[in-house]
Structure 1
Amino acid sequence: MAAGDTGMYRKERSVPLKSSSSALYNNLSVLPLRDKQLTYFAAVHGSTVSLASASADGLSVSQRQLQAKEGGLAVSTSILTQMYESDGSVMVYWHALDVSDPPPAQAVFARGIAAACERFICVGTSSGLVLVFDIPSKGTNITLSEVLEEHRDSITDIASEVGENPDGAVDLVTADDSGALCAWRSEEEFSLLTKISAFGWSCSSVKLWNGVIAAGYGNGQIRLYEALSGALRATVNAHARWIYALDLAPLTGKLLSGAEDSYVQVWKLSRRADPGDIEIEHCHSECVTDTQLCGARFCDPEGNSFAATGYDLSEIVRYSQV
């Protein structure tokens, strides 16, 4: 496929992991620390989180593994939400999910997390609830401040847009296993602005940028919606199999998608003068041979580099713009 105005990417040195990555949606987190010339990576394997910090050239890598524990006893991560310092050195908060009366034969888990309004952290659950935690500007007195109850199916992903948003604009979107999406405004309390109905496929990953919702589905499609109205603006048959991850570079509007078909695709979103005119352009394609991709993230806010994880793959593959 031809490259667009973002240029081509080339493969860089991979970052090794102590464990492989589980086949979970969006199974990669990336935190770039430019002042330290380091990038933190995290991926889940079973009840363990593998953390790796790597230099820009990938030659210097530090590893750490986090196991869910409380009071010296291992606790299943399916019933626990834990918050750590960015390097994994200190656990600052944990919250046990209410599993007193789970439905028969249904797993209980937390899935999907996003910061909202520079104050809240929202966490999705298998029951369709979204837990809203109030994070103080100082200290660790984190509290559960609100529970959003609009979804009827398990949450799959949560995305937010932090920054200068116009009054009444969407700054949080939640997705579930049925494919339904909810768009929210976060203030002192969260208000539902619109709900986008399911159409027969699970929405595995969702992102929010410049008033646009980008959603990836089990049929390999990426759909773009107007966040405030819920109007469908574009549909792209992006992958041959289930999409597992999306990411957006906030400074450029680049969109990254990774799927079961072993491909990572880079796209470019843009708005025209007409408020309803949203365009998506394909820019780059990479194949990670014989790998079921389960995580894909940009490594910088411009989208000049990205990383990906795959099921049963004990490394993080990295690419940077030529």
Structure 2
Amino acid sequence: MAAGDTGMYRKERSVPLKSSSSALYNNLSVLPLRDKQLTYFAAVHGSIVSLASASADGLSVSHRQLQAKEGGLAVSASIVTQASWCVLPSRVLLVLTSQKGIQMYESDGSIMVYWHALDVLEPPPAQAVFARGIAAASGRFICVGTSSGLVLVFDIPSKGTNITLSEVLEEHRDSITDIASEVGENPDGAAELVTADDSGTLCVWRSKEEFSLLTKISAFGWTCSSVKLWNGVIAAGYGNGQIRLYEAASGALRATVNAHSRWIYALDLAPLTGKIEHCLAECVTDTQVCGARFCDPEGNSFAATGYDLSEIVRYGPA
């Protein structure tokens, strides 16, 4: 273990999971509930999503497991590719993507409110079919990517189950890997959404009544596995270990961070900090890290999952 000079973080009590985490990009979602002094965690393993609700000290943990199925009443399980909470002004939904489709639940996973099946009549030989990449956008939409490169835009009512597929964005030619939206207030006409794919291409979108393409950032030979959008800046993690910062409006490359020697599986930002700073370097021994998320918007704490690790590793302020 090598600690950063600033010593901003220290390891805290881990949160146990009912099952381990699969080796998937961005395999951790975190939902802080400050009014309840709780944090929700979600990680994927096979056809199961493990949910854990933990107190701040990690001493009190409750669990729930969700299984992705073909439909509301179907019995055959489907491999889950991602689980993520989408925070909208009027409600919070837990969204699951899988080989069969997209499920949306109330935030605690107790009630499924929507199911969307992937329309696959005759997939080409040796081509996997799945959904992956989840983000809330523009206050009323949830955007979900697919293996065919489509981005599905769902219009979410303030309550109830009357969720509709309002638009399909057709710009990518490769499987969507990740989707991110601007956090907080957004000036009119500015970038609101960024979508990434297996080839490394990024598409930047803005929304009025419909989404329109603002700019397209070309691939350079590596998959973009994880992407974030903040204050008009795109942070993108790639298969060569680079993090690249782009200006969202123009697509201009502003900086590269060459700190990792291998594939980046997860990337996150704390929206209330507004800087890149080296704070900690730590090796989670014999573990392939597959998910990482800040647990609060100030960036005071974060958590990580690892392949075949039946716990969520947490770090808090030193």
* TM-score, with structure 1 as normaliser: 0.87
Q: Which whole-Å CA distance do the structure 1 matches of 2:110 and 2:69 have between them? A: 14
| C-alpha deviation, 1:189, in angstroms | 0.2
The equivalent of 1:267 in structure 2 is none
Q: Deviation at 1:120?
A: 0.2
Q: Are positions 1:190 and 2:211 aligned together?
A: yes
Unaligned runs of 5+ in 2: 83-103
CA contact (8 A) 1:22 1:46 kept: yes
Q: How far apart, CA to CA, are the structure 2 residues paired with 1:60 and 1:227?
A: 41
1:160: how far off? 0.3
The answer to whether the 8 Å contact 2:49/2:80 transfers is no
In the other structure, the counterpart of 1:262 is none
Aligned pairs, number: 297
- For residues 152 and 45 of structure 1, do their structure 2 counterparts lie closer, same or farther at Cα, with a shift above 3 Å needed? same
Distance in 2 of aligned mates of 1:77 and 1:164: 39
Deviation per residue, 1:89-147 (Å, 9 max, x gap): 11111100111121211111110000000100000000000000000112220000000
Deviations 1:64-88 (Å, cap 9, x if unpaired)?
1001236675566769999111111
Q: Is the 8 A contact 1:81 1:97 kept in 2?
A: no
Structure 1's 294 and 77: CA in aligned 2 closer, same or farther, altered over 3 A? Answer: farther
- Secondary structure of the structure 1 residue equivalent to 2:281: strand
Identity %: 92
Partner residue in 2 for 1:303: 299
Q: Distance in 1 between matches of 2:5 and 2:274?
A: 12
**Could you tell me whether the CA contact under 8 Å between 2:39 and 2:53 is conserved in 1?**
yes
Question: 1:65 is matched with which residue?
Answer: 65
Give, in angstroms, the shift of residue 289 of structure 1: 1.1
Matched residues in 2 for 1:14 and 1:125: separation?
33
| Structure-2 change in CA distance of 1:54 and 1:181 (3 Å) | same
Match of residue 49 from structure 1: 49
72 and 131 in structure 1: CA distance in 2 versus 1, 3 angstrom threshold = closer
TM-score (norm 2): 0.89
Q: 1:28-55, CA deviations, whole angstroms, 9 ceiling, x for partnerless residues?
A: 0000000001000000001110000000
Q: 1:92 to 1:127 in 2, by over 3 A?
A: same
Distance 1:229 1:312, change over 3 A: same
Superposition deviation, residue 253 in structure 1: 2.6
Could you tell me whether the CA contact under 8 Å between 1:118 and 1:162 is conserved in 2? no
Per-residue CA deviation, residues 264-301 of structure 1 (Å, 9 max, x unaligned), is xxxxxxxxxxxxxxxx4322222211110000000001
1:70–1:249 CA distance, 2 compared to 1 (3 A):
same
* Cα distance between partner residues in 2 of 1:81 and 1:27: 8
The change in CA–CA distance for 1:176 and 1:297 in structure 2 (over 3 A counts) is same
The Cα offsets for residues 196-252 of structure 1, whole Å up to 9 and x where unpaired, read as 000000000000011000000000000000000000001111211110000111111
Is the CA contact 2:9–2:279 (under 8 Å) kept in the aligned structure 1? no
1:73 aligns to what SS in structure 2? Answer: coil
Secondary structure at the aligned position of 2:206 is classed as: strand
Report what 2:164 is aligned to: 143
* Aligned equivalents of 1:153, 1:218: Cα separation in 2: 15
Superposed CA deviations along residues 168-189 of structure 1, whole A, max 9, x for unmatched, are 1001000000000000002210
Q: 1:71 to 1:186 in 2, by over 3 A?
A: closer
Corresponding position: 1:243 with 2:239? no
Report the CA distance between 1:309 and its aligned residue.
Answer: 0.2
In structure 1, distance between residues paired with 2:60 and 2:42: 16
Q: CA deviation at 1:21?
A: 0.3
Q: Could you tell me whether the CA contact under 8 Å between 1:78 and 1:109 is conserved in 2?
A: no
Q: What is the CA–CA distance in structure 2 between the aligned matches of 1:311 and 1:283, rounded to whole Å?
A: 24
Q: 1:134 to 1:79 in 2, by over 3 A?
A: farther
The verdict on how the C-alpha distance between 1:122 and 1:162 changes in structure 2, with shifts beyond 3 A counting, is same
Contact 2:68–2:78 at 8 Å: present in 1 too?
no
From the superposition, tell whether residues 3 and 312 of structure 1 become closer, same or farther in structure 2 (CA, over 3 Å): closer
Mapped partners of 2:209, 2:5: distance in 1: 41
SS in structure 2 at match of 1:35: helix
Q: Is 1:38–1:54's contact at 8 Å kept on the other side of the alignment?
A: yes
Alignment partner, residue 263 of structure 1: none
> CA shift at 1:5, angstroms?
10
Given the alignment, which residue of 116, 131, 140 partners 1:119? Answer: 140
SS in 1 for 2:78: helix
Look up the match of 1:276. none
In 1, the alpha carbon distance for the partners of 2:255 and 2:177 equals 22
> How far apart, CA to CA, are the structure 2 residues paired with 1:54 and 1:74?
31
Q: Give the structure with the higher percent strand.
A: 1
**Is the CA contact (8 Å cut-off) linking 1:79 and 1:99 kept in structure 2?**
no
